[in-house]
Structure 1
Amino acid sequence: MDIGIGLPNTVPGTEPQDLLDWARQAEEAGFSTLGTIGRLVYQGYEELIALTAAAAVTSRIRLTTSVLLAPLYENAALLAKQAASLERISGGRFVLGVGLGGRDDDYAASGLSTKGRGKRFEEQIDDMKRIWAGEDRGFAGGIGPATVREGGPELILGGSTDVSFRRVAKLADGWIMGGGSPDMFAQAAVGVDTAWQEAGREGKPRKLSLAYFGLGPNARAQADGYLLDYYGFLGDAAAQVAGSAAVSADMVKSYVAAFETAGCDELIFVPTGSGLEQIDLLAAAIA
């Protein structure tokens, strides 16, 4: 199982230089990917821009939106061009993870309705894939740029319902769980694999998951401070999310073992702070 680390693009107080230093150090530490969290109504950096900055200071590590809320980007042609540009600039390292999101305020702030968003989402993905395949769209031909990976960036979809699993099988290369226990992952992974087989797809979908972490002497306070605020819209349930964060090396190790047993292909540990020591602490915990 690959182990990735999140870029602290949504952690309050993260400065632009912090993102660049974090990206460099994460690559040096040997993590498989840099992941970003998608949300509009929160103080943070937009994911495609943050990962483009990371791409400029790295050369090996994958760059994954985990996940970007695609329906907020209404212009599918423009999003396809942005994704293709980042994929090419990074030498094929970009992985486009997309989902619907779970907060109505992100849609309200965009002047969009949540009604029918699943259908719009599928149409958007179909449109982007045609663009990445080089479909003519005007006098000059296709939109471009041509991607390093044939057919466009690797496409990963989020979601936890049977409908979302069928969507993965129909449109994507893999699936990501946005949060939850290893047992929840294992159960959902069965649904994803079943949908994949029923759709007649060859091979297996790549399956990813996120897990929050915060390490060091103030780990619990750091995790609570960020997660209780970020998930405040959940009310009392925010405490459950905060409590699930890995705040010790032993918890990190147990998460790695349990997710690997559950069939996870890549586990991305999402930081609750932006101090660079978090990278080395996580690397030491999984060593």
Structure 2
Amino acid sequence: MDIGIGLPSTIPGFTGAEVVEWSRRAEAEGFSSLAVLDRLVYGNGDPLTVLAAAASVTVRIGLATTVLVAPYRPSATLLAKQAATVDHLSGGRLTLGLGVGGRADDFEATGASYHDRGQRFPALVKEMRAAWSSPEIGPAQPSIPILLGARADPAIHRVGELADGWIATGGRADMFSALAPKVHESWAAHARPGSPRMTAIAYFALGAQGADDAREHLLDYYDFLGEFARFTAANALTTPEAVRDAVDAFTAAGCDELVLHPCSANPDQVTLLAKALS
């Protein structure tokens, strides 16, 4: 199983210098990808802009959105061009994880409709793929892998139709295991060859302040979800042993890549995570 690491751009107060140092360390330590999360009405960075910065200081490591919320963006074609540009600048390293989102205020901020976001989502994905196949959009005609981030059955059932794989967002291997068969069922129902790319995300914060950093950040970031925020904070990986146990559990569950998102912007977290995995 590959191990990716999230960039600290979701941590309010993060700096460009931290993103640069984090990216360089992550590539040097051998992580499979650098990943970003997406919110609009929050003190985070724009995901594709942050990935462009990471691309400029790395040469090998993959770049991924896990996930980017497509339906609150005004134009799927514009989003397709932005993603194609990051992919082009990075030499074809982008994987685009997409989701429908769950915060009404993000949609209100752009004037996009919130309540029909799920119904609009398939057309958005198809419009993006059409844009990538058009020589008029440029800067290239990429073949960017699309993964769907989903927990609800209707969204999971779209994986076989729309995507190249799935991102489990619950943070625990047992939740991954419970939903993974539905992904494979969707894949088979659409007669797709091979197997879907099976990815998961979890959260970590290591060191003496790790547990406090995880609790503070996740309760704030997921405040709108109430009890789920407390669940996520309680399941953050805050010791090397917890990290290794999670890796073992996700590997056994058939996960292809586990992306560990940080709860602190300090680049030393990259080193601590690498040591925990060694």
Closer, same or farther in 2 for the Cα pair 1:237/1:162, shift >3 Å?
closer
| CA-CA distance at 1:161 after TM superposition | 2.3
| CA-CA distance at 1:198 after TM superposition | 1.0
| CA-CA distance at 1:163 after TM superposition | 1.6
In the alignment, does 2:209 pair up with 1:218?
yes
1:79 aligns with 79
Distance 1:276 1:114 in 2: 36
Distance 2:153 2:220 in 1: 30
In the alignment, does 2:195 pair up with 1:201?
no
| CA-CA distance at 1:60 after TM superposition | 0.4
Amino acid aligned to 1:226 = H
Distance 1:83 1:238 in 2: 30
1:167 aligns with 158
Query: What SS does structure 2 have at the residue aligned with 1:222?
Result: helix
1:138 aligns with none
Aligned length: 278
Distance 1:87 1:30 in 2: 20
2:64 aligns with 64
| CA-CA distance at 1:236 after TM superposition | 3.9
1:119 aligns with 119
The two structures have a TM-score, normalised by structure 2, of 0.97
1:99 aligns with 99
- How is 1:1-287 mapped onto 2 (pairs within 5 angstroms)? 1-134=1-134, 142-147=136-141, 149=142, 152-287=143-278
Contact 2:74/2:112 (<8 A) preserved:
no
| CA-CA distance at 1:253 after TM superposition | 0.3
Distance 1:180 1:218 in 2: 20
Distance 2:227 2:149 in 1: 24
| CA-CA distance at 1:234 after TM superposition | 2.1
Amino acid aligned to 2:43 = Q
Contact 2:69/2:98 (<8 A) preserved:
yes
Question: Which moves more between the two structures, 196-205 or 99-108?
Answer: 99-108
Structure 2 residue ranges without an equivalent (≥5): none
Closer, same or farther in 2 for the Cα pair 1:174/1:236, shift >3 Å?
closer
The two structures have a TM-score, normalised by structure 1, of 0.94
Distance 1:202 1:237 in 2: 36
Contact 2:73/2:110 (<8 A) preserved:
no
CA RMSD of aligned residues (A): 1.1
Structure 1 residue ranges without an equivalent (≥5): 135-140
Query: What SS does structure 1 have at the residue aligned with 2:137?
Result: coil
| CA-CA distance at 1:160 after TM superposition | 1.4
Distance 2:55 2:122 in 1: 28
Contact 2:166/2:197 (<8 A) preserved:
yes
Query: What SS does structure 1 have at the residue aligned with 2:146?
Result: strand
Identical pairs, percent: 46
